[in-house]
Structure 1
Amino acid sequence: MTFTKATAFNADQQEIAKLAKVLAHPARVAILQHLAQTKSCISGDIAQELPLSRTTVSQHLQELKSAGLIKGEIAGLTVCYCIDAEAFAHAKAVVEQFLASITSCCSDSDC
């Protein structure tokens, strides 16, 4: 039987890893940038902005939504997506704190 080792890491480490994983695909980065510029849009509009099929864009939107970085509301036959400002601010703070903790421990003379 296989066991996950994720429980060997604390909640902060797991949260940072989850954010890094969802941001590790350039299509998801492009989607977030597009949503930030347009403030909101429907999934079809996003697919027109990227060199990907509508189905692939939809899958990336689901990953971003599962991670809590975006939210979507059904409007008829389309879904209007936008960045979840509160969740995004939290993610930004978590990453900034992580990077600051690494930076504060290192100096050029250490290596």
Structure 2
Amino acid sequence: MAAKEQIHIIWQNQEIGTLLHPVPDMWYLEGSWVSNNSVVADSFESAARALNERAAFNNLKEGIEVLLQDHKGSQTLAIVISLTDPHTLFLRRINSSLHDVSAKSTGNIFSLILRKITALLT
């Protein structure tokens, strides 16, 4: 991703703002949150600031599900892990086949892959 890129953030089927200067690290992404100042964006910001960062990192179901949309219109599912001062948004991009797997459950990932391979072979 280019350093000057901005990614649109969609929550509850509405665009709520952008992520400026996103910095990727494996599946994670961090950048500056810029709200569009809508009522829905204000609700998102309140919910994101109230997240328990450690709990959301360890179990993605504790985070907030959003869609990220790039300038081409491509969308990627992501889970917000934290929104900290001043406006740093930290999230994890999700591969749809692993959507229900927590961030630290690598053993479960291998089990999931093995089950899928077994299902394909039978």
TM above 0.5, one fold? Answer: no
Normalised to the residue count of structure 1, the TM-score between the two structures is: 0.32
Which has a greater percent of strand? 2
Q: Which has the larger radius of gyration?
A: 1
Which has a greater percent of helix? 1
Normalised to the residue count of structure 2, the TM-score between the two structures is: 0.30
Q: Does 1 or 2 have the higher relative contact order (CA < 8 Å, sep 6+)?
A: 1
